[in-house]
Chains A and B, each alone.
Chain A
Amino acid sequence: MSFDITKMIDLDTMDFLVDVEAPEIVERFHPGQFVMLMTRKEGERIPMSVMKAENGKLTMFIRKLGKTSKELRDGMTRFENVIGPLGHGIEEKVYGNVVVVSDAVCGQAENYAICEALSKIEGNRITSIQTFPSKKEIYPEDYLTTELVDKHIITTEDGSFGEEGSYIVPLQKMIDEGEEIDFVFGGGKLPTMKAVSTVLAKNNIDNLFTTRQMMVDGSGMCGACRLYIDGEMKLACVDGPMFDSRKVNWDKAIKRYHMFKKKEKEANDYYEAHKGGCGQCQK
C-alpha cells in the first residue's frame, strides 16, 4: 500500500497539516481513535491523532518539532506506513451540553474530529475551547472548529489574542456562571490535563481526556503505554487512548513523557548532520 502525502500545509509557526492516502483506515475510523505513523523503513512507530478521515484520506497535524517534521519539510512525499485505526473511539451519541478543549497539536486534531462527529447529532450543544501559545500560532479559520460548534472560544497562553491562559479559564467561568456541563472531552498538554482534572473532579463532571503516552507496538504487546487508572494498570493503546481525567495518575504520566528527551535531541542532531547528502558523514 502506498501512503502518499497528498497535501501539506504550513499552518503557522508551529504545525503542519498533512493529508495522507489511507482508504482502508479511513473506512474504519471513529473520532477519538489514533493511528501510528512510520515515516520510513527505519522509522519509529509514532502515535498520531487524526483530525479528519474522509475521501480515503487522513488529515493530521504534525508539530514542527523533532525529526519527523524536518523530514516533511525536506520534501518527504509518502510515509512508509500508517497503521490503524487504534484504540477506542468516542461514543457518538447525545451528551447534552458538551465542552471540547485542547491546547496542543494532537489535542487540536481530536478536538476537530470530536466536534465534527458530535455536531451531527441532534441534541448536543457544543462549546469548543482551543488554546494556542500566542496569536501567531492560531490556526487558519478552516482548521479551527469554529463552524462546527455552537460556541467557539480561543485563548492564548500569553494573552495576545482572546482570553489569557489555558482552556481552563473559560471552562471555569462557565462553571462559575452556573452553566450545566454534561461532558468534557479534551486533549493536549499533560500538565493542563492534570490541572483540569481537579476542576472536573471538584464539580463532578464526566469527561474523557486523551492521555499522551509513549507507545511502541500500539496493540498491547509491550506495556510502554501503561498508566494507572484508579490504581489499576491500563494500556493507553488498548484501553484508551481516552480516560476519565479524574482517575489518571498524572504525575507519573508527566514524568514518563520525558523518558527519551535526551534521545530525541540525539536523533535531531543526527538528522541535521546527515540529511545534506554531502557524504561527509559516510566517511
Chain B
Amino acid sequence: MPKIKPRIPMGEQPPMERITNFNSVPYGYTEDQAVEEAARCIQCKKPRCEPACPVTIGIKEMNLLIAERKFKEAYLLVKEDNAFPACSGRVCPQEKQCEGACILEKFDQPIAIGKLEAFIADWGRTHKVEVEEIKANNEDKHIAIVGSGPAGLACAAECRRYGYAVTIYETLHKAGGVLVYGIPEFRLPKAIVEKEIEHLEEMGVKIELNHTVGQNIYYYELVSQNDAVFLAMGAGAPKFMGIPGENPMDNVYSSNEFLIRANLMKAYKFPEWDTPINCGNKVAVIGAGNVAMDAARTAKRLGANEVHIIYRRTKEQAPARKEELHHALEEGIIFHELVNPIKFHGDDDGFIDYMELTRMELVEGEDGRISPKPIEGSTFYMECDTVIEALGTVPNRLFLDRAPDIERDDRGVIIIDENHMTSVEGTFAGGDASSGAATVIKALGEGKRAARAIHAYISTHDTSHRQEVQRVEV
C-alpha cells in the first residue's frame, strides 16, 4: 500500500465551547494549510472528482493553483463554474460528490475539496478580487426571478452577465433562501451570504424583498412584463407527522418554524431581537437529515440540556452530511435509531409533555425495498418539552395555486423540459421548485444552466409575444 499523507485537519471550536455560541464551527484553513492540503492532490490524469461535482468545477486545476499559491487564479477558476463557492464549500455533501469520488478516498483520506473551495472563496472575497462580469448590454430585455435562494441567485448572476435587466422577487425581508433562513450561522455565517448578495446587487441585479408572487404580485403580471420568468421558489413548506395530539400542540414546531425563528429572526438574541423561541431542556428532533441536525444543534445552542434525534431507520441511513452528523454527535446529541413517534401527549396548558413511540425494524417488502415497519407491542414513552419535526419539505402551494398554467406533479414539483422550460413558454424553473428538496449545489447548477437556456431562448425568439396565462388572484 502506498504511503498516503493524511488530510490536513481543520481547526474547529471544541464541542463544549461551540455549543455555547452560534459562531462558525470550523476556523477555515490558513494559507499554509490550504497549500499543504492542495499539494496532496496527485493530479490524476482523468480526475474522478470533477464529473462527480454537480457544477463540474475544475477541481484538479484548483488544487494545483492553490498548491502553487496562485490564489487569485484559483479563485477566478472556481468562480467560472460556481458563483457562490463560499456557500457550497461549506454545505455540499462532499462525501457523496467530489470527495467521495476522489481516488484517495480509497485510503480514507480524500482531498478536502470542500474546505479548499471555501478557503479560496473566502480568500477571493477578503482580497476583493474582481471577476470580469457583464459581457453585453441587453438591458431592454427583462427577466423576473421568483425566489432568492441559491437557484434564483445563480440564475440572476448568470443572466446579468449576459447583460439582461434582472429582478428577483423574494417573499421574505431578507434574500438568500435556505442559506439565510434555514442553515444556521454556525455552519454558514450569514455575513458571507450577505456579501455574495451585495455583490450581485452591485452587478445591477434588483432584489424586491417582501414580494410574494401569487400574493401581492401575481405570476401573470410577471409574465406580461418580462421577456422570461424563472421560478426558483424552492420547496419550502413544512410537512407534519399527522399523528394524534399534534393538532397544534405548543412547543411542537416544524423544523422550518424553529430554524426561521432562530436564524432569520435571530431568536437566539432574544430579547435584544424581538422574535421569541421556546426551547426547553429536553428536545426531541424527528428526522435525521441536514435539517434535523441543524435543528438539533441549534436547540443545543439555545440551552437545551438533552437533545434527542428520533429516526425510524438506522444511523448509517441518516441522509445528513457526514460532517453534520459527526459534529452533532460530538456536541452530545443523542441518536435514537429505529424508533418512530405515534402520539404526542400534552399537559393541561397545551404544551408537549411526552411522546409515545414505537420501535421499528427494517423489513424487505415484496418489491425488494427495505423499509422500516413498526414492531408490534414495542410502544414506549419519552418525556420531552420541545419537539421539532424535521420531516422534509414540500413545494409551497401559495404560488402554485395561483399559477394553474404551470404543470406540476402530484407533489407540487414543477415539471420542466431539458432546457428548464415549464409548460408555459418563456417560463423556466430550477432548484428545489422543480426537483423537490435537494441540495444547494444542485440548485446553483440548475440556476446557471437555466440562465443559459433563457439566454438561448431570448436570443432566438420574439419575446414580445407572450403566452397568455390565467389571471388568478387571491
**Contact between A263 and B276, CB atoms less than 8 A apart:** yes
Inter-chain contacts of A86 with B (CB < 8 A): 212, 215-216
Among B181, B270, B398, contact of A220 (Cβ-Cβ < 8 Å): B398
Inter-chain contacts of B250 with A (CB < 8 A): 255-256, 258-259
Q: Is A252 an interface residue (CB 8 A)?
A: yes
Q: Is A226 an interface residue (CB 8 A)?
A: yes
| Residue in chain A with minimal CB distance to B234 | A221
Inter-chain contacts of B236 with A (CB < 8 A): 221
Interface hits, B187-231 → A, CB 8 Å: 210, 212, 215-216
Report Cα–Cα, A222/B215, bound state, in Å.
17
**Contact between B247 and A252, CB atoms less than 8 A apart:** yes
Stretch from B75-83, B123-131, B158-166, B252-260 at the A interface: B252-260
**Contact between B247 and A216, CB atoms less than 8 A apart:** no
**Contact between B396 and A228, CB atoms less than 8 A apart:** no
Q: Mark A242-256, 1 if CB is under 8 A from B, else 0.
A: 000000010010011
Q: Mark A48-85, 1 if CB is under 8 A from B, else 0.
A: 00000000000000000001000000000000010111
**Contact between B256 and A223, CB atoms less than 8 A apart:** yes
Inter-chain contacts of A238 with B (CB < 8 A): 397-398
Inter-chain contacts of B265 with A (CB < 8 A): 44-45, 216
| Residue in chain A with minimal CB distance to B275 | A44
Question: How many residues of chain A get a CB closer than 8 Å to chain B's CBs?
Answer: 48
Kindly provide the distance from the CB of A28 to the nearest chain B CB, expressed in whole angstroms.
Answer: 6
Main secondary structure of the interface of B (DSSP, over half): loop
Among B242, B254, B256, B274, contact of A267 (Cβ-Cβ < 8 Å): B274
Q: Is B273 an interface residue (CB 8 A)?
A: yes
| Residue in chain B with minimal CB distance to A215 | B257
**Contact between A223 and B254, CB atoms less than 8 A apart:** yes
Interface hits, B253-298 → A, CB 8 Å: 253-254, 256-257, 260-261, 265-266, 269-278
- Whether A252 contacts B397 in the complex (CB less than 8 A), given A217-B260, A264-B276, comes out as no
Kindly provide the distance from the CB of A35 to the nearest chain B CB, expressed in whole angstroms.
Answer: 10
Kindly provide the distance from the CB of A168 to the nearest chain B CB, expressed in whole angstroms.
Answer: 25
- Whether A263 contacts B270 in the complex (CB less than 8 A), given A217-B171, A223-B238, comes out as yes
- Whether A221 contacts B256 in the complex (CB less than 8 A), given A42-B269, A227-B248, A238-B398, comes out as yes
Among B216, B257, B271, B351, contact of A270 (Cβ-Cβ < 8 Å): B271
Q: Is B349 an interface residue (CB 8 A)?
A: yes
Kindly provide the distance from the CB of A109 to the nearest chain B CB, expressed in whole angstroms.
Answer: 19
Inter-chain contacts of B334 with A (CB < 8 A): none
Among A39, A81, A263, contact of B173 (Cβ-Cβ < 8 Å): A81
Report Cα–Cα, A238/B237, bound state, in Å.
11
Q: Is B350 an interface residue (CB 8 A)?
A: yes
Kindly provide the distance from the CB of B109 to the nearest chain A CB, expressed in whole angstroms.
Answer: 41
Inter-chain contacts of A23 with B (CB < 8 A): none
Inter-chain contacts of A88 with B (CB < 8 A): 474
Question: How many residues of chain B get a CB closer than 8 Å to chain A's CBs?
Answer: 42
Kindly provide the distance from the CB of B322 to the nearest chain A CB, expressed in whole angstroms.
Answer: 28
| Residue in chain B with minimal CB distance to A213 | B248
**Contact between B240 and A216, CB atoms less than 8 A apart:** no
Report Cα–Cα, A199/B98, bound state, in Å.
65
Inter-chain contacts of B172 with A (CB < 8 A): 217, 219
| Residue in chain B with minimal CB distance to A249 | B247
Interface hits, B73-102 → A, CB 8 Å: none
- Whether A219 contacts B396 in the complex (CB less than 8 A), given A67-B274, A255-B350, comes out as yes
Choose among A43, A44, A84, A220 the residue with the greatest number of B CB atoms under 10 Å from its CB.
Answer: A220
Q: Mark B348-392, 1 if CB is under 8 A from A, else 0.
A: 011100000000000000000000000000000000000000000
Q: Is A233 an interface residue (CB 8 A)?
A: yes
- Whether A270 contacts B212 in the complex (CB less than 8 A), given A220-B397, A252-B350, A255-B349, comes out as no
**Contact between A216 and B261, CB atoms less than 8 A apart:** yes
Inter-chain contacts of A38 with B (CB < 8 A): 173
Choose among A33, A38, A221 the residue with the greatest number of B CB atoms under 10 Å from its CB.
Answer: A221
Interface hits, A86-100 → B, CB 8 Å: 86-89
Q: Is A224 an interface residue (CB 8 A)?
A: yes
Inter-chain contacts of A89 with B (CB < 8 A): 474
Q: Mark A1-35, 1 if CB is under 8 A from B, else 0.
A: 00000000000000000000000110010100100
Choose among A85, A249, A255, A269 the residue with the greatest number of B CB atoms under 10 Å from its CB.
Answer: A255
Report Cα–Cα, A224/B253, bound state, in Å.
7
| Residue in chain B with minimal CB distance to A85 | B216
Among A39, A216, A255, A260, contact of B257 (Cβ-Cβ < 8 Å): A216
Q: Give 10 new A-B contacts, CB below 8 A, not counting A216-B257, A219-B171, A221-B396.
A: A84-B216, A216-B275, A220-B397, A222-B260, A233-B240, A233-B242, A238-B398, A252-B247, A259-B351, A263-B278
Chosen A-B contacts, 15 in total, with CB atoms closer than 8 Å, are: A39-B274, A40-B274, A44-B276, A67-B274, A83-B173, A83-B210, A85-B216, A216-B275, A219-B398, A220-B237, A222-B260, A255-B350, A263-B278, A266-B270, A266-B276
Q: Which residues of A contact B (CB under 8 A)?
A: 24-25, 28, 30, 33, 38-40, 42-45, 67, 81, 83-89, 216-217, 219-224, 226-228, 233, 238, 249, 252, 255-256, 258-260, 263-264, 266-267, 269-271
